[in-house]
Amino acid sequence: MSNSPPPPIPRFTAVTLGVSDIRASIAFYEALGFTRKFRATGEAVAFFDTGASVIGLFPWDELAQDAALPEQPRPVAFRGITL
């Protein structure tokens, strides 16, 4: 019998989306019924609790800068989502 703990179960805890219109995106996720967290960020960034994970909305240009990608043109392989 092994004394090793079981391996961890992989789970997504955060999904980050790059959006071109932060206001419209916030309204969309609120209309879906997600609860917005950390409102102190204003419209610079938005986080929504999904129950098991968090959806983070960032302006596309800021997410691209953070990922060291050019703002334009948007690369096909990277559509503004990070896990």
pLDDT in tens, 10-69: 777 888 888 888 999 999 999 999 989 877 777 789 999 888 888 999 888 888 777 777
The reported pLDDT for the residue numbered 28 is 94
Q: Which residues pair with 17 in a beta bridge?
A: 57, 81
For the chain, first and last CA: distance in Å?
A: 36
Main-chain phi, psi angles of 48, to 5 degrees: -125, 135
SS percent in the chain: helix, strand, coil, step 5? 25, 25, 50
Return the SS3 of 78.
coil
The reported pLDDT for the residue numbered 73 is 60
